[in-house]
Amino acid sequence: MGLRAELAPRSFDSLERAEAKRLQLTFAPSVGKKFRLALHQDASLGIAGVLYDCALLLARRLVEEPRLLSGKVVEISCGTGCAGLAAAALGAEVLLTDRSERALQVAKQSAKESGLTVSCQRWDWADPLPLECRGASTVIATDVVYSEDVSALLNALEALAAPGCVVLLVAKVRSPSSLAGLRSLLNEASHLFKECVPLSLQPAAQATLQLAAKDLPLPDVQDKAVYFYRLVR
């Protein structure tokens, strides 16, 4: 598959970004109006409380090409909810899920300040699929592969994705363990999904990310350690 591993796994993609309580993300798609998202964070939650590269990259891709989305959108392990909030801004019906109640509270705060309506549901993949999650047409999954053991993720996708459902998966390989996990996930997914194809993160909407009045760097859409897959059940 040509997957490459980064030598040094990191807790946060950007320490400066992670330390911010609030970020502002502005999108300027090639077609349509510019819009902004307020993104609140709580680094005390660890990986669930901060914005990661994969969510930013998928959000820019969705804003530039909204047709990647259809019907009810469910984001799993949403963290800050960046990708899901972008989908909501595009007019989608969005349900954000995470096992952290606090992460969902922070995402709700971001949605409210951004003028968006989203639903939130706590879901630990070890638990049965909540009724609220049923009927998803599109599933968003960013940065959900961190180790070799992807059994819980596979079980969650099998429960959530009914026939015809599309999963948009963006993963960043940060270690040999996450590389092995992604390989395992794609191998097993090929038996569960009728399509499992790599996509490009381009074209991507122009965007700016700000902390107060300061512009922060955006992740590279050509980052060789980031992979985007479309899985069709």
Contact 63, 27 (CB under 8 A): yes
pLDDT in the model for residue 12: 81
Give residue-wise pLDDT tens across range 156-192: 999 999 999 999 999 999 999 999 999 999 999 999 9
Give residue-wise pLDDT tens across range 106-126: 999 999 999 999 999 999 999
Is pTM, for the whole model, over 0.85?
yes
> Rg of the Cα trace of the chain?
16
Q: CA-to-CA distance for 39 and 24, rounded, in angstroms?
A: 6
Q: CA-to-CA distance for 162 and 17, rounded, in angstroms?
A: 36
Give residue-wise pLDDT tens across range 204-230: 999 999 999 899 999 999 999 999 999
Q: CA-to-CA distance for 5 and 230, rounded, in angstroms?
A: 21
Rounded to the nearest integer, the mean pLDDT of the chain is: 94
